[in-house]
Amino acid sequence: MISVGELLKGKGGEVWSVTPDDTVFEAIKRMNEKHVGALAVVEDGKLVGIISERDYARKVILKDRSSKDTRVKEIMTRDVIHVIPQQPVSECLVLINEQRIRHLPVLDNGNLVGMISVGDVVKEIIQEQQYTIEQLESNLSWAEAY
């Protein structure tokens, strides 16, 4: 099983972020531009929260608030569940499932170094399982030949 750090190397470590004082409209616009479903909320170089499309839907749209008048800090998730580069990707799937979240910031010594999504994790696990299947089939073919 590969680590989160290895997954990030293949994916790239770009992290899109906003500040707590940005408007929700600016955050949603950035998500759209970057084709992502969540952004890190960073203040003074440190991760202080995360804002997702789900936050927008539940805390702005359904409450009939204005995205142009609402600040990110008013709706962001503050208690951010994160992972570290050394963690196995399989642990991320457990976290995502148990916590019912879709995005995991990656912190290295407290510094934000990446963001992974449920899609990244599932893709990696499928690739690993496919490789295992191919190896087993190859071994089976070799064993049947003798």
Q: pLDDT tens, position by position, for the chain (146 residues)?
A: 799 999 999 887 789 999 999 999 999 999 999 999 999 999 999 999 999 999 999 999 999 999 999 999 999 999 999 999 999 999 999 999 999 999 999 999 999 999 999 999 999 988 888 877 887 777 766 666 66
Entry pTM: 0.85
* Residue 89 CB neighbours (<10 A): 22
Q: Which CATH number belongs to the domain containing residue 70 in this structure? A: 3.10.580.10
CA distance 92 to 124: 11
Structurally, the chain folds into a number of domains equal to 1
Residue range(s) defining the domain that contains residue 40? 4-144
